[in-house]
Amino acid sequence: MSQKLSELIDLLKGHRVYIQTHNFPDPDAIASAYGLQVLLGKFKIKTVICHHGNIERAMTANMVSEFQIDMTADSELKYMTSEDYIITVDSQKGNANILDLIGNEVAVIDHHPVFCVVDDYKYRDIRMVGSCSTIIADYYRQYKIDMPSSVATALLYGLKCDTRDFTRGVTQLDVDIYSYLFPKADNRLIRHFQSGEIEYNELNAFVDSMRNIEVYDGVAFAFLNFYCTDAFIATISDFILNVDVVNFSVVYTRRNDGFKFSVRSEIEELNAGQIVSDALKDVGSGGGHKSMAGGYASESKILDISIDYNKVIQNLFLNIIDTIPHRGYTPRNEVPEDVEVKVEKVD
């Protein structure tokens, strides 16, 4: 689903251009936007990187500061008009994780499956690879464009983050790009960024989250009953997969008007992106990769079903998972009446 870079260059010339990441951008989104901004600058196309939400975690903020990446929050976009062009990176318009700005979304560069079909992009490069950083780096490699060390370092860090150090969603192109970026990048800086992946003030939150895990035949649910960032929800979801009795995790927390979800899977048959999309289709939206996904559900729709929102949420997911044959799981409708479905509390 990719197009030639020259088509993107021709499309953008003569326009004011914004590069928009998903809300609360993570290292892969920021690295992709930064790498694209530098690349387009080589063709005399000036861009502004924009986003909704904060740069939430210290390691991400350190990356932005180290490379002096100019990130503009949507609240500071004073001059954007409907005539301006937007390139969305690491997300697609129509998804719950990206704010609809006034500008014209003419291009998308992303590595997520398409759950919200949008046909009016003038340029589309969507590839099923481990990170969006991989796609941006591939532009430099294919077209033999000189890459600064800062860009190589950012892109390699984004690639490592989204593939969890090459343990999920990795394709041959990701491996090839790693080989391409490694000698150009400052790996000392990457080790520095990675050393701050868990912040000191998050330790108590980790302990509290572990007290709220319920496991149904390998499917873990954790409700985080405290304020936490989107990035922290994802970190907890990753962490829970390390529990020996867990192979699919659903982590969620309250927002002002709904619930934010992070979903992870390490079973081939359980496609996290498809499951969260199907589970939340009547109460919100979601999507992502086979191994990692996210979503959002409206509080009013969840509470319309029942006051016990934890049970509602668990059933939304388990009702989908019950229909998918996979190893080590007994569908609830096949359990004999005199046998109780096993629910484990993780201490």
pLDDT at 342: 43
Cα 66 to Cα 56: distance, rounded to the nearest angstrom: 16
What stretches in the chain show pLDDT beneath 70? 1-3, 56, 115-119, 196-201, 306, 327-347
pLDDT at 47: 97
Q: Kindly report the CATH number that applies to the domain delimited by 201-345.
A: 3.10.310.30
Q: Kindly report the CATH number that applies to the domain delimited by 5-194.
A: 3.90.1640.10
pLDDT at 300: 87
Residues in contact with 180: Cβ distance below 8 Å, sequence separation at least 6, in sequence order: 137, 141
pLDDT at 331: 61
Element (H, E) at 85: strand 85-89
Strand partners, 251: 222, 262
pLDDT at 225: 84
Residues of the chain with CATH 3.10.310.30: 201-345
pLDDT at 333: 53
Coil vs helix vs strand at 147: coil
pLDDT at 97: 83
Q: Which two tokens stand for residue 7?
A: 């088509």
C-alpha distances (whole Å) from 36 to each of 46, 47, 134 are 11, 9, 11
pLDDT at 336: 41
pLDDT at 347: 47
Side chain identity at residue 63, one-letter code: M
pLDDT at 335: 42
What is the residue whose two structure tokens read 């986003």?
Answer: 51
pLDDT at 340: 38
Cβ density class 179-207: b for 16+ within 10 Å, e for less: ebbeebbbeebbeebeeebeeeebeebee
pLDDT at 119: 66
Residues of the chain with CATH 3.90.1640.10: 5-194
Cα 265 to Cα 250: distance, rounded to the nearest angstrom: 9
What is the residue whose two structure tokens read 């077209």?
Answer: 143
Element (H, E) at 65: helix 58-66
What is the residue whose two structure tokens read 């000191």?
Answer: 200
pLDDT at 231: 80
C-alpha distances (whole Å) from 72 to each of 51, 297, 306 are 6, 27, 40
Cα 240 to Cα 259: distance, rounded to the nearest angstrom: 19
- Please tell me the pTM assigned to this model: 0.77
pLDDT at 114: 73
